[in-house]
Amino acid sequence: MNLTIDIGNTRTKFGFFQKGELKEKIVVKKWTLNDLKEIVNNQNIENIICSTVKTENKRMENYLSKHWYFLNLDADTPLPIQNLYGTPKTLGKDRLAAVVGAYVLFPGEPSLVIDAGTCTTYDVIDADGNYLGGNITPGLNMRFRAMQHFTAKLPLVEKPEDVKDGIGKNTTDALQVGGGLGNILEMEAWIQFFSDKYEGINTTLTGGDAEYFAKRLKTKIFAHSNLVLVGLNKILDYNVELL
């Protein structure tokens, strides 16, 4: 069994894979090394991979590497795809894992991966498995926080449930529609942009706000909440085969 660990800005996901299939997922906001020991020691684990957007946890790495085959995803990790990003050491590991996940789902086809998290990222992998790069914009909650933080009087608002009318009738509405619908329209525009650029491209939506956008986007997308875990598992299997 493989264990994939995705440490994000707000949550950590533990995914347990058997023969390429996700059997169990655990999602936590906070955890300690003792919590991790309890998680891994109760499973028949052989190999582990970790991707983190935070400072690397050496205590965790030392513990895991002593008991299992442990792979810490970084810019030098061998990949089942070709990474053409100009500055691979600055590339978010979750972005890299997500495009590998998309290539697992759609082998031999181009894919656009939209990760709707703290930031919204748009990443492209072509039909030959070449990761071409992508773009980063503020995420939904970041937009609302920025408008409140950088102004004197604008309040902090929650993401809206309904933005159909498209015109704010008061300041709260104006912020919610501007931030919420603005983010939706941005996504639809990027999807159209890459669809025009790469014929037959698939669009996969993932991240903490994926469900929110999946319900509101008019364009055809494939929502997959575990895309990063799928990609991490593929990278782990690829490296195990190289041993």
Catalytic residues: 94
Which H helix or E strand runs over 34?
helix 33-41
- Sign, CA dihedral 7-49-134-191, equals negative
Q: How far is CA 73 from CA 112, 152, 192, 198, 222, in A?
A: 22, 42, 32, 29, 26
Structural contact between residues 168 and 175, judged by C-beta atoms closer than 8 angstroms: yes
Q: Where are the beta strands (DSSP E) in the chain?
A: 2-7, 12-18, 21-28, 47-52, 69-72, 82-83, 111-116, 119-125, 130-138, 202-206, 222-223
Across the chain, which distance is largest between two alpha carbons, in Å?
62
Q: How far is CA 199 from CA 36, 54, 92, 203, 221, in A?
A: 44, 36, 26, 12, 15
